[in-house]
Amino acid sequence: MEKVAVELISRWGHFLSGIMWIGLLYYFNFVQGAYLKAVSPEGKAEAFKHLVPRALLFFRWAALLTVLFGLDILGQRGILVQALTLHKGAAIIGMGAWLGLIMLFNVWGLIWPNQKRVIGLVQATPEEKAKAGRIAFLASRVNVMLSIPMLFFMGASGHGAALFLH
Protein backbone atom coordinates (compact mmCIF):
# COMPACT_ATOMS: atom_id res chain seq x y z
CA MET A 1 0.00 0.00 0.00
CA GLU A 2 1.29 3.43 -0.84
CA LYS A 3 2.74 5.49 2.03
CA VAL A 4 0.14 8.23 1.60
CA ALA A 5 -2.70 5.71 1.84
CA VAL A 6 -1.28 4.17 5.02
CA GLU A 7 -0.99 7.58 6.64
CA LEU A 8 -4.53 8.44 5.51
CA ILE A 9 -5.85 5.32 7.24
CA SER A 10 -3.96 6.23 10.43
CA ARG A 11 -5.20 9.83 10.26
CA TRP A 12 -8.78 8.65 9.81
CA GLY A 13 -8.41 6.22 12.73
CA HIS A 14 -6.88 8.99 14.85
CA PHE A 15 -9.71 11.33 13.94
CA LEU A 16 -12.55 8.86 14.60
CA SER A 17 -11.15 7.41 17.83
CA GLY A 18 -10.32 10.94 19.01
CA ILE A 19 -13.91 12.06 18.48
CA MET A 20 -15.12 9.09 20.50
CA TRP A 21 -12.58 9.66 23.28
CA ILE A 22 -13.16 13.39 23.73
CA GLY A 23 -16.89 13.03 23.13
CA LEU A 24 -17.15 10.48 25.92
CA LEU A 25 -14.90 12.59 28.16
CA TYR A 26 -17.27 15.53 27.74
CA TYR A 27 -20.30 13.25 28.16
CA PHE A 28 -18.97 11.94 31.49
CA ASN A 29 -18.14 15.42 32.77
CA PHE A 30 -21.06 17.47 31.48
CA VAL A 31 -23.95 14.99 31.21
CA GLN A 32 -23.55 11.74 33.14
CA GLY A 33 -22.25 13.26 36.39
CA ALA A 34 -25.26 15.55 36.77
CA TYR A 35 -27.61 12.73 35.82
CA LEU A 36 -26.20 10.35 38.43
CA LYS A 37 -26.59 13.01 41.14
CA ALA A 38 -30.26 13.51 40.27
CA VAL A 39 -31.42 9.95 39.58
CA SER A 40 -32.95 7.56 42.11
CA PRO A 41 -30.74 4.93 43.76
CA GLU A 42 -32.39 2.33 41.52
CA GLY A 43 -31.67 4.37 38.40
CA LYS A 44 -28.08 4.85 39.51
CA ALA A 45 -27.71 1.11 40.10
CA GLU A 46 -29.10 0.40 36.61
CA ALA A 47 -26.69 2.94 35.07
CA PHE A 48 -23.75 1.39 36.93
CA LYS A 49 -24.81 -2.04 35.75
CA HIS A 50 -25.59 -1.37 32.08
CA LEU A 51 -24.50 2.09 30.88
CA VAL A 52 -21.35 3.17 32.70
CA PRO A 53 -19.25 0.02 32.13
CA ARG A 54 -20.01 0.11 28.40
CA ALA A 55 -19.24 3.82 28.12
CA LEU A 56 -15.98 3.31 30.05
CA LEU A 57 -15.05 0.42 27.72
CA PHE A 58 -15.35 2.63 24.64
CA PHE A 59 -13.74 5.55 26.49
CA ARG A 60 -10.53 3.79 27.50
CA TRP A 61 -10.02 1.93 24.21
CA ALA A 62 -10.76 5.06 22.17
CA ALA A 63 -8.12 6.85 24.26
CA LEU A 64 -5.54 4.16 23.55
CA LEU A 65 -6.34 3.98 19.84
CA THR A 66 -6.23 7.76 19.48
CA VAL A 67 -2.74 7.90 20.95
CA LEU A 68 -1.48 4.88 19.02
CA PHE A 69 -2.78 6.23 15.71
CA GLY A 70 -1.29 9.64 16.52
CA LEU A 71 2.11 8.20 17.36
CA ASP A 72 1.94 6.10 14.18
CA ILE A 73 1.31 9.22 12.09
CA LEU A 74 4.30 10.96 13.67
CA GLY A 75 6.40 7.86 13.05
CA GLN A 76 5.33 7.61 9.41
CA ARG A 77 6.28 11.25 8.93
CA GLY A 78 9.66 10.61 10.54
CA ILE A 79 9.10 13.20 13.30
CA LEU A 80 8.16 11.05 16.29
CA VAL A 81 11.38 11.72 18.22
CA GLN A 82 11.38 15.40 17.26
CA ALA A 83 7.77 15.77 18.41
CA LEU A 84 8.29 14.00 21.73
CA THR A 85 11.46 15.99 22.42
CA LEU A 86 9.68 19.21 21.40
CA HIS A 87 12.21 19.91 18.66
CA LYS A 88 11.65 23.31 17.05
CA GLY A 89 10.13 21.97 13.84
CA ALA A 90 7.69 19.62 15.61
CA ALA A 91 7.14 21.32 18.98
CA ILE A 92 3.53 22.29 18.31
CA ILE A 93 2.36 18.78 17.43
CA GLY A 94 4.66 17.49 20.19
CA MET A 95 2.81 19.55 22.80
CA GLY A 96 -0.46 18.05 21.59
CA ALA A 97 1.06 14.58 21.71
CA TRP A 98 2.38 15.05 25.26
CA LEU A 99 -0.98 16.34 26.49
CA GLY A 100 -2.62 13.31 24.86
CA LEU A 101 -0.13 10.97 26.54
CA ILE A 102 -0.80 12.56 29.95
CA MET A 103 -4.52 12.21 29.35
CA LEU A 104 -4.06 8.57 28.32
CA PHE A 105 -2.18 7.90 31.57
CA ASN A 106 -5.05 9.50 33.49
CA VAL A 107 -7.57 7.26 31.70
CA TRP A 108 -5.75 3.95 32.22
CA GLY A 109 -3.82 4.73 35.43
CA LEU A 110 -6.32 6.76 37.45
CA ILE A 111 -9.83 6.92 36.00
CA TRP A 112 -10.36 3.28 35.00
CA PRO A 113 -8.87 1.59 38.11
CA ASN A 114 -10.89 3.86 40.38
CA GLN A 115 -14.10 3.66 38.37
CA LYS A 116 -13.97 -0.14 38.67
CA ARG A 117 -14.37 0.33 42.43
CA VAL A 118 -17.09 2.96 42.07
CA ILE A 119 -19.29 0.88 39.77
CA GLY A 120 -18.70 -2.37 41.66
CA LEU A 121 -16.46 -4.30 39.27
CA VAL A 122 -13.87 -4.43 42.08
CA GLN A 123 -14.94 -4.96 45.68
CA ALA A 124 -14.51 -1.86 47.84
CA THR A 125 -15.85 -0.50 51.10
CA PRO A 126 -18.07 2.59 50.97
CA GLU A 127 -15.07 4.68 52.10
CA GLU A 128 -12.86 3.18 49.38
CA LYS A 129 -15.60 3.81 46.79
CA ALA A 130 -15.88 7.45 47.89
CA LYS A 131 -12.10 7.94 47.68
CA ALA A 132 -11.95 6.16 44.31
CA GLY A 133 -14.81 8.30 43.01
CA ARG A 134 -13.02 11.48 44.02
CA ILE A 135 -9.77 10.40 42.33
CA ALA A 136 -11.58 9.41 39.13
CA PHE A 137 -13.55 12.67 39.18
CA LEU A 138 -10.44 14.83 39.59
CA ALA A 139 -8.47 12.94 36.92
CA SER A 140 -11.41 13.27 34.54
CA ARG A 141 -11.70 17.01 35.20
CA VAL A 142 -7.97 17.40 34.61
CA ASN A 143 -8.46 15.65 31.26
CA VAL A 144 -11.25 18.06 30.33
CA MET A 145 -8.95 20.98 31.03
CA LEU A 146 -6.02 19.38 29.19
CA SER A 147 -8.22 18.56 26.20
CA ILE A 148 -8.62 22.25 25.36
CA PRO A 149 -4.93 23.02 24.74
CA MET A 150 -4.40 19.51 23.36
CA LEU A 151 -7.03 20.08 20.68
CA PHE A 152 -5.57 23.52 19.98
CA PHE A 153 -2.05 22.16 19.47
CA MET A 154 -3.28 19.26 17.37
CA GLY A 155 -5.27 21.58 15.11
CA ALA A 156 -2.67 24.33 15.08
CA SER A 157 0.09 22.02 13.90
CA GLY A 158 -1.48 21.56 10.49
CA HIS A 159 -2.92 25.01 9.87
CA GLY A 160 -0.08 27.49 9.83
CA ALA A 161 -0.40 28.50 13.47
CA ALA A 162 3.34 27.91 13.84
CA LEU A 163 3.83 31.39 12.37
CA PHE A 164 1.97 32.92 15.31
CA LEU A 165 3.51 30.75 18.02
CA HIS A 166 7.20 31.54 17.44
Could you write out the DSSP letters of every residue in 13-81? Answer: HHHHHHHHHHHHHHHIIIIIHHHHHHS-HHHHHHIIIIIHHHHHHHHHHHHHHHHHHHHHHHHHTT-HH
pLDDT digits (tens, 9 = 90+) for 108-163: 999 999 999 999 999 999 999 999 999 999 999 999 999 999 999 988 887 555 44
* Residue ranges per structural domain of the chain: 3-163
The number of angstroms, rounded, from the C-alpha of 99 to the middle of its chain's C-alpha atoms is 10
What's the pLDDT score for residue 103? 98
Instruction: With a cut of 80, say whether residue 164 has pLDDT above it.
Output: no
